[in-house]
Amino acid sequence: MKLFVFPRWANKTRQIFGVAFAGMPIYLTALVTFGFSPKTTDVGYQPKQPVPYSHALHAGEMGLDCKYCHNTVEQSSHAAIPPTQTCLNCHTLVHPESSKLLPIRESAATNLPVEWVKVHNLPDYVYFNHSAHVTRGVGCVSCHGRVDQMEEVYQDQPLSMSWCLDCHNQPEKNLRPPEEVTNMNWKPPGDAVAYGKALREQNNINPPTDCSTCHR
Amino acid sequence: MSSMNSQPKKPKYWRSLAELEGDPEFSEYVAREFREPLEQTPLSDAGRRRFMQLMGASFALAGCHYREEKILPHTSRPDGQIPGVQTSYVTVMDVAGVATPLVATSYDGRPIKVRGHREDQASLGGTGPFHEASILGLYDPDRSQKVMQGQTPSTWEAFDGALLAAYTAAQKAGGEGFAVLSGAHSSPTLARLRNELKTELPQAAWYVYEPSHAPGKERGAELAFGKRVRELVSPEKADVIVALDSDLISAQSPSGLAYARKVSERRDPDSDSMSRIYAFESLLSELGSLADHRVAVQPSKIAAILAFLEGTIGSELGRATIPAPSADVLGAELHKVLSVVVRELLEKKGKSLVTLGSRYGAELHASAHRLNVLLGNVGSTVRYVEPSETLSGGVDDLAALVADIDAGKVKTLLILGANPVYSAPADIPFAPALGKVEQSFHLGLYRDETGEKCSWHAPEAHFLEVWGDARVQDGTVRIAQPLIEPLLGGRAAIEVLARLLGAPNPSSQALVRATSHLPTDKLWRAAVHSGRYGAAANEVAVEIQAASAFELPSAGELEVIFETDPAVFDGRFANNGWLQELPHPLSKQTWGNAALVGPATAEKLGLGDGHLCEVTIEGRSVSLPSIISPGQAEGTIALTLGYGRTVAGVVGGFLNPAEPVEVSGVDVYKVRPSKAPFLASGSVKKTGGRQELAITQDLWAIDAIGKSGQKQREDQLVRETTLADYKAHPDGIQHKVHHPPLLSLWQPPVSYEGHKWGMAVDLNKCTGCAACIVACQSENNIAVVGRSEVTKGRELTWIRVERYYKGDAKKASVRQQPVMCQQCENAPCEQVCPVGATMHTEEGLNDMVYNRCIGTRYCSNNCPYKVRRFNYRNYNLETIGTTPYTGTDDRRAKLKAMAFNPEVTVRGRGVMEKCTFCVQRIQNAKIVAKNQRRPLKDGEISTACEDACPSGAIVFGDLNDKNSRVAAAQKVPRAYELLQELNNRPRVNYLARISNPHPELSEADEHKSEHH
């Protein structure tokens, strides 16, 4: 077997590596800055929806309960987007002619779904279950922010794995009585952490942090 | 030192002949670390450049958001449907007249899984491989999608018009010239429509051809008792079972799954009522694998055995029916065993069961029926009931049809579901006869060999798409409930018939309901909910008619046994990837069939594994590879039907001139004689040449050191003893292995205070039927890898059923041991993963974190059980064309992707995977229980394999729950861990096999425990 001889250009590797090492701090700084910026974690992601549905109006001003539309949230992994029929429960009487509601009426007439754009989009290998959180007393507001003040829904929290784990490790900060989960204005009486601890004790809440809790 | 120099003893257990005999090829095979050099991968050379280009392109894109996803809600959500919550429906699947009640699970309107119906007496929850695989069949894009007139696409209207015109023309002549050919089916609606057709067209003929039709049992009863009756058995009441080539507990036999559960109920050595099973059989059957005594006999010997039993027992009881043959006919050895059997049967009168395989003729079955009467079993272990009307028929019907066509009596032939161009016996020229029919109409799931040759073809609907019904053995009816609208525009056979009979727009639901005669909606809904209606058939008293001795055939030169395949059955499931890749229970062959021969016969013929041979029966020959099958009766050769389909599809084979697809296996219908469709005589000769077979048994073999370790350990891996020894020394099973006290290097990191999942696998119940493998594949999105990848050792199935032969190669019996991830508490895999891709949970599971895995395969190296599977290629993408994470516009790919279970990640290339104890089911059940603020109940969580197991050999549950079934199972003295000396502390326990041999026949001292 012939001996392997490094080609002549290999002499330059030292210089190349030298430059690379010199640039390392800049690279790392950039990595951290961009990697952790809200833009990367999608905080603030606000896609345009086919119907300019205002949560601020419906859930905020008029005070509709979240579960009026997202009624599967306590039984299913999805807090399902309501069927067209739910919109029409009111909108056959309220603003039945509004041009903004055209896609809704079209959907009802053609029996084809309204194509809403997903805002809170978890990776496909994450199996999140709404019912497991809502029935334990994690409020909607904890993950979705003040939806009752959003004209158009945007992502409020990073929804990253470390963000999930923060709460799974210390759920006290985000616990409330299960009947208060949809109340956006709820404030813990007294010390939030102490109150959360008591609730945690009372409802036997021990969020697992095993991989298979969310990934399977 | 002398002992160290002596030749190593031949092991008592062995996994394959190559291993037993130290085949040099085998040694070379295990010496290579990788079976095949890794081929060019997409990331090599040109591939790497392409990769960099793609990466560059994605870096250049502004932002890093996932592609935008849409949510499409219902316009009006159906009552009771909750998106994301699975719903289950009771249904039934009929395969060749055998109905199996099932529960089908739907996820957001899409059926994703079927399992057995536990509350139903007709199956008691078991399933067979093809029931589990029916989900994949539903989403098979090769299924027929459009009506065809000859070679041109047409429409249902045209099909209906042409069929109706032919029908009306025939009606004028009283039905003359009109004929229907169907497969066997137990549907009362289909039977009703057949009778209506006969009323409308009195001269029309209806033929039924089912390749697996074996009328012996029913005709035998008629012969023995002078009336038509149906036999129902209660094996749970039998202390002694004499199984003569019996297929009693096969998933293909009527009520076989329920019988499997009932037989296994009595195989519990920790109770005081363990049964004893004698098996006399030519091939290793499921019941034979449970047997306490197994004697390999040629099929021709069965007549002599029956005559001996009936003759001797009859004269002992003073009710001689036929004379017993002399002992010489049996041979000394067999005579000795049978004498013991006779004595025991006489002792256990009324508590025994004689069961004969369906492939035998009426005379022998009559003898078996008489034996049960003589032994007083009727009324206890055997009941006879009135038979119900079903569609059944076999080669006789097909021969009659061909004769009628040749005589010009058939002008119009309507074929419902059958595929006789492929499955007709060799000496019935169905294909040429079909050409002589003026107009032929074919309704089938596939445009198969027959559909292609008919003047019209129309797509049939899958059983999960339309309403239907089926009758089980006891005469009650099961309703088949659809879960989805016909995906590919198919119609049910009953709809096509009803339209012909004048219903303008028949719906399958209305037809099924009309048959049920249930007067109110409430009753109907109740029937649909429970899946059943109707009363059980009346019991019939039987009396033995005068019997005459039957001929005892002399042993043929070579007795050829035809049997349907455990996976692809008679060929109808040939285009199902899960079934093609399912290892045969004995030969462990995938993607094809072979001629199975016993070792001595193989030696005589010069055959070996993969050697090509030519089997000649009645002057017709077929060439196929052979496999040596230890324990098979010498002088026999077993041929498996169902392979060699030339118009199956992209999985099973398609000899389309444009894009031919490799045909899987060899079609042995080409040599099947109509006079003897199950047992023929023929000759075999070696033709030279070899074919590489895709056999999985030796795939996980290890190197020389490993092999010697394995040999030392074989009787520790699959442990067994006799009942007497077990009762005398219950801890003998534990003493099969001795090791120093087990110390861990570190404190156990987890205390397992909450749940502690565990499993117990009872080797006394496992028959090796392989239903668990398919159930697991369906539940866990396990990819099909294809024939060539299997030969490279890259199959992905998470459960392998290890086959151990025991004893001398010529008389071997078989032990089957399902091995899945053992979920070790001290898991060796976890300790070597450099990226934390396999992690321990607080409940003791070894989690596989796919998105962390970088594919070092260290875990698989370090796993002593070899249960980890690696995705060498992107199998899902390659075989399906898409995954849930890659969009596609390809309709075929989209349809196939619907079979994925949305609760489980679909793995891609370079990722390790393994059994997870169905962690998705655990998590979902835990969430539901906690939502309802209640503790989990035992049995609430079942793994897919546990669900499927017909004999209840697999039990899963919480070991911390003192009352759970698994905790009880792991506490019995025969529970042991695999490789316990390694201190892995596996969570799967095996329950040792305890046989219950007759004291006079027990192999002396063989099982005596080394009790210290």
Helix (H) or strand (E) holding B308: helix B299-316
What's residue B540's pLDDT? 93
Q: Is B677 found in the same domain as B599?
A: yes
Name residue, tokens 């229970």: B585
What's residue A131's pLDDT? 94
Contact (Cβ atoms closer than 8 angstroms) between residue B756 and residue B713: no
- CB proximity B920 to A under 8 Å: yes
Q: Is B194 found in the same domain as B82?
A: yes
**C-alpha span between B160 and B1001 (Å, rounded):** 66
Question: Is a pLDDT exceeding 70 seen at residue B403?
Answer: yes
Q: What is the DSSP letter of B67?
A: P
What's residue B81's pLDDT? 86
Q: Is B672 found in the same domain as B751?
A: no
**C-alpha span between B602 and B627 (Å, rounded):** 9
- The alpha carbon of residue B925 is apart from the nearest alpha carbon of chain A, in Å, by 11
Task: Give the pLDDT band (50/70/90) at residue B452.
Answer: very high
Residue type for B744, please? Answer: S
CATH number for the domain including B974?
3.30.70.20
What's residue B20's pLDDT? 61
**C-alpha span between B238 and B429 (Å, rounded):** 45
Residue type for B213, please? Answer: H
**CA dist B335 → A128, B327, B551, B559 (Å):** 66, 6, 19, 22
- CB proximity B999 to A under 8 Å: no
Question: Is a pLDDT exceeding 80 seen at residue B33?
Answer: no
Task: Give the pLDDT band (50/70/90) at residue B479.
Answer: very high
Question: Is a pLDDT exceeding 80 seen at residue B969?
Answer: yes
pLDDT in tens, B545-556: 888 888 888 877
**C-alpha span between B1000 and B837 (Å, rounded):** 56
What's residue B43's pLDDT? 40
Q: Is B375 found in the same domain as B334?
A: yes
- Which residues in B417-537 belong to E strands, given as ranges? 439-444, 456-459, 468-471, 477-480, 532-533
Q: Is residue B614 part of a domain?
A: yes
Task: Give the pLDDT band (50/70/90) at residue B3.
Answer: very low
Q: Is residue B300 part of a domain?
A: yes
Domain boundary among B335, B353, B382: B382
Question: Is a pLDDT exceeding 70 seen at residue B168?
Answer: yes
- The alpha carbon of residue B67 is apart from the nearest alpha carbon of chain A, in Å, by 10
Give the domain extent around B167: 70-213+392-516
What's the whole-number average pLDDT of chain A? 90
pLDDT in tens, B181-217: 999 999 999 999 999 999 999 999 999 999 999 999 9
Which of chain B's residues have a Cβ under 8 Å away from the Cβ of A72?
A: 82-85
Task: Give the pLDDT band (50/70/90) at residue B685.
Answer: very high
Question: Is a pLDDT exceeding 60 seen at residue B46?
Answer: no
Task: Give the pLDDT band (50/70/90) at residue A39.
Answer: low
Domain boundary among B354, B382, B410: B382
Question: Is a pLDDT exceeding 90 seen at residue B454?
Answer: yes
Q: Is B685 found in the same domain as B589?
A: yes
Which of chain B's residues have a Cβ under 8 Å away from the Cβ of A123?
A: 66, 851
Domain boundary among B382, B413, B428: B382
Q: What share of chain B in percent tops pLDDT 90?
A: 73
What does the angle CA B392 – CA B395 – CA B397 come to, to the nearest 5 degrees? 60
Helix (H) or strand (E) holding B48: helix B46-60
Q: Is B288 found in the same domain as B170?
A: no
What's residue B547's pLDDT? 83
Q: Is residue B989 part of a domain?
A: yes
Whole-angstrom distance between the N-terminal and C-terminal Cα of chain A? Answer: 49
Q: What is the mean pLDDT of residues A140-169?
A: 93
- CB proximity B59 to A under 8 Å: no
Which of chain A's residues have a Cβ under 8 Å away from the Cβ of B66?
A: 121, 123
What's residue A213's pLDDT? 93
Closest-CA residue in chain B for A111?
B75
Contact (Cβ atoms closer than 8 angstroms) between residue B954 and residue B934: no
Q: Is B668 found in the same domain as B747?
A: no
Task: Give the pLDDT band (50/70/90) at residue B15.
Answer: low
- The alpha carbon of residue B626 is apart from the nearest alpha carbon of chain A, in Å, by 42
Helix (H) or strand (E) holding B680: strand B679-681
Task: Give the pLDDT band (50/70/90) at residue B717.
Answer: confident
Number of domains composing chain B: 4
What's residue B56's pLDDT? 44
pLDDT in tens, B823-848: 999 999 999 999 999 999 999 999 99
Which of chain B's residues have a Cβ under 8 Å away from the Cβ of A136?
A: 930
**C-alpha span between B818 and B440 (Å, rounded):** 47
Nearest residue to B16 (alpha-carbon basis) of B714, B721, B689: B714
Q: What is the mean pLDDT of residues B78-101?
A: 92
Q: Is B412 found in the same domain as B375?
A: no
Q: Are strands B293-296 and B276-281 parallel, antiparallel or unpaired?
A: parallel
Q: Is B241 found in the same domain as B178?
A: no
Q: Is B958 found in the same domain as B875?
A: yes
Contact (Cβ atoms closer than 8 angstroms) between residue B915 and residue B867: yes
pLDDT in tens, B880-925: 888 777 777 888 888 999 999 999 999 999 999 999 999 999 999 9
Q: What is the mean pLDDT of residues B992-1000?
A: 92
Q: Across the strands, what pairs with B624? A: B613
pLDDT in tens, B122-151: 999 999 999 999 999 999 999 999 999 999
- The alpha carbon of residue A3 is apart from the nearest alpha carbon of chain B, in Å, by 23
Nearest residue to B919 (alpha-carbon basis) of B754, B779, B753, B752: B779
Question: Is a pLDDT exceeding 50 seen at residue B1?
Answer: no
**C-alpha span between B255 and B263 (Å, rounded):** 12
Q: Across the strands, what pairs with B384? A: B231
What's residue B463's pLDDT? 95
Question: Is a pLDDT exceeding 50 seen at residue B1004?
Answer: no
Phi, psi of B990 (to 5 degrees): -105, 140
Q: What is the mean pLDDT of residues A13-42?
A: 85
Question: Is a pLDDT exceeding 70 seen at residue B984?
Answer: yes
- CB proximity B884 to A under 8 Å: yes
**C-alpha span between B471 and B476 (Å, rounded):** 6
Closest-CA residue in chain B for A212?
B847
Residue B664 CB burial class (10 angstroms; 0-12, 13-18, ≥19): buried
What's the whole-number average pLDDT of chain B? 88
| B875-884 as b/e: b if 16+ CB within 10 A | bbbebbbbbe
Q: Is residue B687 part of a domain?
A: yes
**C-alpha span between B444 and B462 (Å, rounded):** 9
Q: What is the mean pLDDT of residues B76-102?
A: 92
CATH number for the domain including B201?
3.40.50.740
- CB proximity A39 to B under 8 Å: yes
Task: Give the pLDDT band (50/70/90) at residue B726.
Answer: very high
Question: Is a pLDDT exceeding 90 seen at residue B1007?
Answer: no
| Cα torsion B746, B751, B752, B758: sign | positive
Contact (Cβ atoms closer than 8 angstroms) between residue B792 and residue B36: yes
What's residue B2's pLDDT? 37
What's residue B47's pLDDT? 45
Q: What is the DSSP letter of A2?
A: P
Nearest residue to A180 (alpha-carbon basis) of A129, A134, A214, A112: A134
Whether B69 and A117 lie within 8 Å, measured CB to CB: yes
Contact (Cβ atoms closer than 8 angstroms) between residue A35 and residue A158: no
What's residue B21's pLDDT? 64
**C-alpha span between B575 and B444 (Å, rounded):** 14
What's residue A149's pLDDT? 93
Whether B842 and A210 lie within 8 Å, measured CB to CB: yes
Mutate which of A130, A211, A213, A215 to disrupt the B interface (most B C-beta within 10 Å)?
A211
**What are the sequence ranges of the domains in chain A?**
119-214
Residue B841 CB burial class (10 angstroms; 0-12, 13-18, ≥19): buried
pLDDT in tens, B431-440: 999 999 999 9
What's residue B413's pLDDT? 95
**C-alpha span between B558 and B615 (Å, rounded):** 10
Q: What is the mean pLDDT of residues A38-51?
A: 83
Whole-angstrom distance between the N-terminal and C-terminal Cα of chain B? Answer: 24
Q: Is B243 found in the same domain as B209?
A: no
Residue type for B122, please? Answer: A
pLDDT in tens, B941-951: 999 999 999 99
Question: Is a pLDDT exceeding 70 seen at residue B22?
Answer: no
What's residue B943's pLDDT? 96
Residue B1005 CB burial class (10 angstroms; 0-12, 13-18, ≥19): exposed
What's residue B446's pLDDT? 94
What's residue B1008's pLDDT? 44
The CA dihedral of B449, B452, B453, B458, to the nearest 10 degrees, is: 110
Q: What is the mean pLDDT of residues B408-431?
A: 94
Question: Is a pLDDT exceeding 60 seen at residue B1011?
Answer: no
What's residue B14's pLDDT? 66
Question: Is a pLDDT exceeding 60 seen at residue B275?
Answer: yes
Q: What is the mean pLDDT of residues A50-76?
A: 93
**C-alpha span between B335 and B316 (Å, rounded):** 16
Q: Is residue B35 part of a domain?
A: no
pLDDT in tens, B496-547: 999 999 888 899 999 999 999 999 999 999 999 999 999 999 999 999 988 8
Q: What is the pTM of this model?
A: 0.90
- CB proximity B61 to A under 8 Å: no
Three-class HEC string of B231-242: EEECHHHCCEEE
Task: Give the pLDDT band (50/70/90) at residue B428.
Answer: very high
What's residue B1010's pLDDT? 43
**CA dist B144 → B138, B770, B894 (Å):** 11, 29, 16
Q: What share of chain B in percent tops pLDDT 70?
A: 91
Which of chain A's residues have a Cβ under 8 Å away from the Cβ of B850?
A: 125, 215
Residue A47 CB burial class (10 angstroms; 0-12, 13-18, ≥19): middle
Task: Give the pLDDT band (50/70/90) at residue B557.
Answer: confident
Q: What is the mean pLDDT of residues B850-859?
A: 93
Q: Is B398 found in the same domain as B352?
A: no
Spatial CB neighbours of B699, under 8 Å, sequence gap ≥ 6:
B35, B790, B793, B795
The CA dihedral of B117, B121, B122, B124, to the nearest 10 degrees, is: 50
Q: Is residue B196 part of a domain?
A: yes
Which of chain B's residues have a Cβ under 8 Å away from the Cβ of A210?
A: 839, 841-843, 845, 847
What's residue B808's pLDDT? 80
Question: Is a pLDDT exceeding 60 seen at residue A146?
Answer: yes
